[in-house]
Amino acid sequence: MAQQVHVYQSKVCYSIPGRFELDLELKSNQRVTALIGPSGAGKTTILKLIAGWLESNSTIALNGSRLDLNRSGKVQPLRDRGVGMVFQDDLLFPHLDVLDNAQFAIKYARSERRMEPFVFDSLCENFGIVHLLGRKIFNLSGGERQRVGLVRALAARPQLLLCDEPVSAVDRVGRTKLLANLQSWTEREQIVVIMVTHDHDEIRRMAGHVWHIDAGRLIAEGSPDSVI
Amino acid sequence: MTAEDYTAIILSLAVALAATISVVCVGTPIAWYIAKKPFRGAGLVVAISTLPLVLPPTVTGYLLLEIFGRRALVGQFLEQQFGLVLVFHWSGAVLAAAVTSFPLYFVSARSAFASVDFAYEQAARLMGCSEWTVFWRITLPLSIRGLVAGGVLGFVRALGDFGATLMVAGNIPGRTRTAALALYDATILGEAARARSLVAVLGAVAVAAIWFAGRPISKGGR
């Protein structure tokens, strides 16, 4: 199935007007696109822009349908965009335990986005967090927190998942396994992934397409081998 | 202590509780809005809201009389429409206590809401949550300690209000005489034992309230 994400005529109006001028298109049949660039290039800002986190006049489309506007042409609220985000600093809710964090979307999201319990169980098993479910957030290691963050985002059943260095706190062995799990789950659920990462091996293993960003501009794109 | 003093203490607790509930109901949405949705003129709202903190309580009381007195516009409206007379009535004591304690709750609540990381709220929205759910499940639990602390400070301030209460509700034994006013009477009359007892009761309630505010909260406290 062809998957396309269009981000075009994009100018961030939030705090740095005019800095971002992007025309990004996720090429057909690329389930995972890597977003690379030096620190401060604007990678996280681009993810936030796609998610609708930042106010902008960008046009964001997935598979030809607009994510940023609803059918009547009004700005689509974040909760209706079908976009999930995994954050570099995980942003797990500190007042909830692991289970409540992981199940947050299941408990409180709109009913049509709620994941069935048996699928959630499978998701937890897939990402190896079953033994963590009774724990407090502050008792988790960095890698465990990132795994819980991934489960929490996927439990909201996004159509587009934005990952900002989602496995940076995981050791190398665990990282390979975790990314393989992420890849298999997103393929199974038909989720498009845009992932910020600095690891070239990860990019070659996972991504079919790469956007290379610098100073808010796309300076190169293509297959991993042609860009890296 | 006399029977009237016990009545004054009970009245004080009831007035402080009613004032605190009113302040929380009115102050929470205002504090949330100003902390989360900054708008032009927010500074003016903050200045007006915190004014009773810096005004002499008697000035606050006088201004309340100018607004809610029987000859004042709002006072006349309340009397004609609802038969409600605040002056020299326990409800006037609630009004005075609420106005003087409002800034303590408002400042604390605003600061508590502002300290909740916007990123947590955005993360919840991205997971499909409504604004209402974001408030109840994220913003409120993460700011609850500040809200409780503000509520307790407001309660203690309402419990001890003297000047504004005296101006608006008067000092009628058994009706509007609160513990703070009873203490003043005992002191003026040279009844030291009675005064000490009232001081002990008011002090104990204040200490208990502050202890309560400082307790760890199992869910919600960061």
Give tens-digit pLDDT for B65-74. Answer: 999 988 888 9
CATH number at residue A109: 3.40.50.300
pLDDT at A177: 87
Count of pairs with CB atoms under 8 A, one residue in A, one in B: 63
ipTM above 0.90, yes or no: no
In a mutagenesis test of the B interface, which of A85, A107, A108 is the best target, namely the one with the most B β-carbons within 10 Å? A108
pLDDT digits (tens, 9 = 90+) for A43-99: 888 888 888 887 766 677 776 677 777 888 888 888 888 889 998 888 999 999 999
Topology of the domain covering B3-214? MetI-like fold (1.10.3720)
Domains in chain A, number: 1
**B190 φ/ψ angles, rounded to the nearest 5 degrees:** 75, 25
The band of A14, judged by pLDDT with boundaries at 50, 70 and 90, is very low
- Closest CA in chain A for residue B122: A53
A213 dihedral zone (left: phi>0; alpha: psi -120 to 50; beta)? beta
What's the pLDDT at B182?
A: 92
Q: Give the one of A51, A95, A110 whose C-beta lies nearest to B126's C-beta.
A: A51
End-to-end CA distance of chain A: 26
Does residue A17 register a pLDDT over 60? no
- CA B134 to chain A, closest CA, distance in angstroms equals 9
* 8 Å CB contact between B106 and B48: no
Q: What is the mean pLDDT of chain B?
A: 90
Residue A119 sits at the chain B interface (C-beta within 8 Å): no
Q: Are B7 and B185 in contact (CB under 8 A)?
A: no
When scoring A53, A68, A78 by the number of chain B Cβ atoms within 10 A, the one with the most, hence best to mutate, is A78
Structural domain containing residue A43: 5-227
